[in-house]
Structure 1
């Protein structure tokens, strides 16, 4: 699907704004902080973006929110292996929710036609800027991830990736209760129910905290006879850094 086609279709969509690429000449806003908590995340910046020194743009929150580049690349390759067939001529469409600074979306764009949704206008510009550093094309949509029903119907994505905010670096690390997890006025369960209706999608891929509970309600929404639901710890140097939740249509 071409960008021109999407721009034409987007006129029919509500709450959608396509953010054009706008290069910023501002110096990188991330600096070593006096705050020791942020400093330890800052020291891992090259794991987040290997090209960090080429003026990667992100705010402080993204220091502990971006999916590390190598891990993102490996997970994207797994998704590609599931959905790709020898008969495929064009890249499949992927919608990436909660775009952040573009860590996952940029890696997805290597193999997929990517549309990433981000609520913050500034982060929308950051994603486009960071994607340009990696010479990758993607479409950034400034909007609320919970109000994209018409976007899903228009694009008919083969893949949807979801990397929601977990509540900051001090989120509850012992138990992360998805059943009672809210983002603004919305519950995470609302998002799952909405995604369940996207018939075109073969793979739903979630990036979630290392320990989350209430996996049973996910299985209730994505029934066993229609979907394969799996959890997998994603390792970095032998340590689990986050949980991947794979929901694959049978």
Structure 2
């Protein structure tokens, strides 16, 4: 049981305004009921999420020590912590001077939290108030809530209204909804038809309007030819998209796609800020012939 303090409400951008009074009441109810708190040792009865619960410590390492909050959907959509940590370190290595990062479709905050470990200000956007609530609660568990600012709304609408284009965002990260576990039923994942709530082209175009540095976490079976085609359509025939194949404990978790010259024209000095050694658990790949000689300059480890 608890209440939403004014200092906490400030981190839910614009929810203090009168037009959001309904959402504000709903958020207060979530705090008061301590909704969605996970009992880490209480075995889940929903068989569809059991395998995710079984690996719960890989999602949030603090689950046994601190209160962690998850909706049913978040069990199969939160980025594993080691992967989220790798993403944050990699972005920091390439953009050491960056201050502000935007996480679109932030879900339960897996990526938001790790980004906040390295950057002083992280915006998270989601159209689920329950998910934003979980993100903030989980950020509290990791002690980074003061660095996290959450915006409730449909990203398609926010993008159409160019809401974040006036904010000095140094990098945009996004792990758009893949459509649930069903994404693995297709041999090749169609990034235009299956990616939710909009296809790759529209998603990437909107993110690039906010920052030239964009990172997408996509399914491991994503169609790379679509990545190449959309990259050229939006950025020109000579544009590059850097692709990393991310493995955890030998299991392919997905691919990371990077747009922005700083992600492949980096220097060894910048890379040294990652403070970690190379390990074989992270596999690097490329789209449109990104120079592989650069692959040794940054930390590709997921488990390190």
Tell me the TM-score normalised to structure 1 length. Answer: 0.82
Higher strand proportion: 1
Match of 1:28 in 2: 37
Which of the numbers 110, 118, 130 marks the counterpart of 1:111?
118
Task: Give the equivalent residue in structure 1 for 2:193.
Answer: 180
Aligned counterpart, 1:169 = 181
Bigger relative contact order, structure 1 or 2 (CA pairs below 8 A, ≥6 apart) = 1
Please give the per-residue CA displacement for 1:59-107, whole angstroms capped at 9, x wherever unaligned: 12211111111121111111001111xxx4xx51111000100000000
Pick one of 148, 158, 166 that aligns with 1:148. Answer: 158
The partner residue of 1:124 within 125, 129, 132 is 132
What are the Cα deviations for residues 156-196 of structure 1, in whole angstroms up to 9, with x where unaligned? 21100010111111223421101223534x43321222223
Q: Between Structure 1 and Structure 2, whose CA radius of gyration is higher?
A: 2
Q: Measured at CA, do residues 161 and 222 of structure 1 come closer, stay the same or move farther in structure 2, by a change above 3 Å? A: same
Q: Greater helix share, 1 or 2?
A: 2
Aligned length: 233
Answering whether residue 63 of structure 2 is matched by residue 47 of structure 1, we say no
TM-score normalised per structure 2: 0.68
Query: How do 1:1-250 and structure 2 match up within 5 A?
Result: 22=31, 25-26=34-35, 28-29=37-38, 32-53=43-64, 54-84=66-96, 88=97, 92-112=99-119, 113-136=121-144, 137=146, 138-149=148-159, 150-171=162-183, 172-184=185-197, 186-198=198-210, 201-213=211-223, 214-220=226-232, 221-223=234-236, 225=238, 227-249=239-261
Higher mean C-alpha displacement, 43-52 vs 147-156: 147-156
Q: Secondary structure at the match of 2:91?
A: helix
Mapped to 2, the partners of 1:27 and 1:231 lie a distance apart of: 35
Describe the shift of the 1:155–1:38 C-alpha distance in structure 2 as closer, same or farther (beyond 3 A). same
